[in-house]
Chains A and B, each alone.
Chain A
């Protein structure tokens, strides 16, 4: 026997004897043991996006507590393992690995920014675990290891853009923060505008955190668009709205249309600066439905009467119930991330926004787009409820690409 063969043989034997559990199914290693199901909760509680992500953490914990109080899932309790990734993508990856490998969570609920989702993706794909992402995002992602419960561009824009064109006119000014999300949303917006024969008078991006909009407002005044389509995020959105108002522009004639201005942003900029501008999203706090009344009521009584719910905290809440419905289908010994993924496909439930459905093809969610106008009291007025729910198309701006259960298909 050659020395090399011997070494290979010895290594292989060693592997078999040292780590037998990777070769056979051992019930003592089942993910749901002792009547407990461990899940990870990975939202930043500190750092730049800490404030908004804290509300997602709260909505998640609220749903988990409700389910446990009502008897858990088939008698098993959900045990949340809460980590604080501190608004830092690298820390997100470290904490995700800890939750998946160390704590053996069967699923992790987390992330607000796309950067943090992209950072944890390799962890979940390598370990074939499951990440539940509640935020609206730019689409163009097709992972078998992420359940997306927020809106993708077509779900926010398909109804919104034609409505804006009809109501205000065909000249659009696209302004966004300089990163991937606004660019992808604008790609899809331009596609829709072209189909409608509308015109883009300018498209521009400002640095993240930018707060001096006088040049932008000059350009808006000289191009005189009918609609300012804004995907500006963070503190920039506050500066933009306040300077728009200081410049004496009129939302009745030239409104800003946004996909990201929620009750949170309105509170930050003040109702007066937000009033008269439009947002399209699947959920607003004022939405009238018994489910939403219950959600808002429960949220306020659990976390404080001055708290608001918004279009990212609502999916954070209902996705826990989707998780529950999926796990309910499984025997305790079968609970692991892959079986949960198969079980969640096609699940439906009545969320605060309306009845949602998890699309088996691309693991995104069928949602109910709404168009609302901000009012000076800090809330929205829903002007238009979609008549039907909308299918998620994460590659809507790229007609030759499709996300299927087998992955991304080029045609």
Chain B
């Protein structure tokens, strides 16, 4: 029983990290329909932000989260204003442009911060383990879980309970009609993109203490993020949560039974089969067409 619980916890932890990485993409891809290949690089920039705050200013991880969120968010805003807004409804061009942007960001970091692997120190209050139902779980992983849950709640509130969210959903449904009602669609889009990028930055800063920080780290994360969002159903926030936790439990369980190599292959296979029979993903948000 204890072993079973431990496995559930591991899956939840993996899932919460996946959700953390995917949440920003769910906003940008799900709401705005922009395929942002530079998402992984936003994650990477967040990790480097946390590293730099610590290495140059001696600021711990938790306070630097605010700086990272605002910094990467601002960069996202610039990217939307400077590149993305010229490419709405041109999906292929967006992929190419954001991919090129990702390569540039990678090389910029490599040239400025160097290509060495870096690490970010864990906040000392979170280094111990926490007993949950008789199972020892790393405190930091619990923290990530709680943080992601909170972040999700905030995002959901923003999307469905604020005027901004209503405007965004209006613009997503029909841009020209929304504009006729006096909504500044440009502003809504650029702020949404900035918010999504900021979330990606937060994700990078938060995973940095558990993983290594390098200019190429974003490449694996962007793949994971797309899996989660596509599997969950592109426009459904709850779908993203469900698919992140499902993939987390599945990966954790299979990796326990066999090993991580097989787990990775089987999870990919499962996603392909699912998408084959349910191309719209697990959850579909109902939109009147």
Residues on A lying within 8 angstroms of B by beta carbon are 48, 50-51, 178, 204-207, 209-212, 214-216, 218-219, 221-222, 235-236, 238-239, 242-243, 245-248, 267-270, 272-273
> Which residues of A lie under 8 Å from residue B259 when comparing CB positions?
204-206
25 contacts between A and B (CB under 8 A): A205-B259, A206-B260, A209-B220, A210-B260, A211-B210, A214-B10, A215-B252, A215-B256, A215-B263, A221-B6, A235-B117, A235-B211, A235-B212, A235-B214, A236-B212, A238-B117, A238-B211, A242-B119, A242-B122, A242-B212, A243-B138, A245-B127, A246-B209, A247-B138, A268-B118
Inter-subunit contact B260/A247 (CB<8 Å): no
Whether A268 touches B212, Cβ cut-off 8 Å, given contacts A206-B261, A212-B17, A214-B10, is yes
B255 at the interface (CB under 8 A from A): yes
Interface contact B210-A222, CB-CB below 8 Å: no
What are the nearest 4 A-B pairs in CB distance? Answer: A215-B255, A268-B117, A238-B212, A235-B212
A242 & B210 in contact (Cβ 8 Å cutoff): yes
Size of the B side of the interface (Cβ < 8 Å), in residues, is 40
Partner of B252, one of A51, A210, A214, A268: A214
Within 8 A of A (CB), among B3-25: 3, 6-7, 10, 13-14, 17
Q: Taking CB as reference atom, which chain A residue is nearest B140?
A: A246
Determine whether the beta carbon of A218 is less than 8 Å from that of B209: no
Given A216-B255, A219-B256, A205:B129 Cβ within 8 A: no
Q: Cβ of B211 and Cβ of A239 under 8 Å apart?
A: yes
- Chain B, residue nearest A204 (CB): B259
B136 interface contact, C-beta 8 A: yes
List the B side residues contacting A216 at CB < 8 Å.
Answer: 255, 260
Task: Produce 1/0 per residue, B103-127, CB < 8 A to A.
Answer: 0000000000011111101100001
**6 new A-B pairs (CB below 8 Å) besides A218-B10, A242-B209?**
A206-B260, A238-B211, A242-B210, A246-B209, A248-B138, A270-B119
Give the distance in Å from the alpha carbon of A263 to the alpha carbon of B45 in the complex: 26
- Report B24 CB to chain A, min CB distance, Å: 19
The smallest C-beta distance from B111 to any residue of chain A, in angstroms, reads 11
Chain B residues with CB under 8 Å of A268's CB are: 116-119, 212
Total inter-chain residue pairs, C-beta < 8 Å: 101
Give every chain A residue within 8 A of B6 (Cβ-Cβ): 218, 221-222
- Complexed CA–CA distance, A51 and B118 (Å): 12
Please measure, in the bound complex, the distance between the C-alpha atom of A290 and the C-alpha atom of B255, giving whole angstroms: 49
Q: Which residue of B lies closest to A238 (CB)?
A: B212
B128 at the interface (CB under 8 A from A): yes
Contact A211 B212 (CB under 8 A): yes
Would A218 and B256 count as touching, CB distance under 8 A?
yes
Chain B residues lying within 8 Å of A243, measured Cβ to Cβ, are: 138, 210
The chain B residue with its CB closest to the CB of A239 is B211
Q: Which residue of B lies closest to A248 (CB)?
A: B129
> Which residues on B sit within 8 Å (CB–CB) of A219?
256
Q: Which residues of B contact A50 (CB under 8 A)?
A: 115
Instruction: For A222, list chain B residues within 8 Å (CB).
Output: 3, 6
Asked whether A214 and B260 contact (CB < 8 A) given A48-B216, A51-B116, A269-B119, the answer is no
Q: Of residues B117, B136, B252, which shows the largest number of chain A Cβ atoms within 10 Å of its Cβ?
A: B117
CA distance A269 to B117 in the complex (A): 8
Q: How far is the CB of A72 from chain B (nearest CB, A)?
A: 34
Verify A211–B136 contact, CB threshold 8 A.
no
Cα separation A327 to B128 with both chains bound (whole Å): 58
A267–B127 alpha-carbon span in the complex (Å) = 20
Interface centre among B6, B211, B212, B256 (most CB of A within 10 A): B212
Residues of the B chain whose Cβ atoms lie less than 8 Å from the Cβ of A273? 119
Contact of A242 among B13, B211, B220, B251 (CB under 8 A): B211
Among B10, B117, B141, B209, the residue within 8 A (CB) of A215 is B10
Closest to A267 in B: B116
**Is B200 interfacial (CB 8 A cutoff)?**
no
Question: Nearest Cβ in chain A — how far from B141, in angstroms?
Answer: 7
User: In the docked arrangement, what's the CA distance between A236 and B210, Å?
Assistant: 11
Per the bound structure, the CA–CA distance linking A248 and B3 in Å amounts to 17
Name the residue on B nearest A207 (C-beta): B261
Contacts of B116 in A (CB 8 A): 51, 267-268
Q: Could you tell me the distance in whole angstroms from the C-beta of A222 to the nearest C-beta in chain B?
A: 6
- A211-B220 in contact (CB<8A): yes
Contact status of A246 and B138, CB under 8 A, knowing A215-B255, A218-B10, A270-B119: yes
Task: Known contacts A209-B220, A211-B212; decide if A51 and B260 are in contact (CB<8 Å).
Answer: no
Distance of A210 Cα from B261 Cα, bound (Å): 9
Asked if B141 contacts A212 (CB within 8 A), the reply is no
A56 to chain B, nearest CB (A): 15
Q: Which residues of A contact B14 (CB under 8 A)?
A: 212, 214
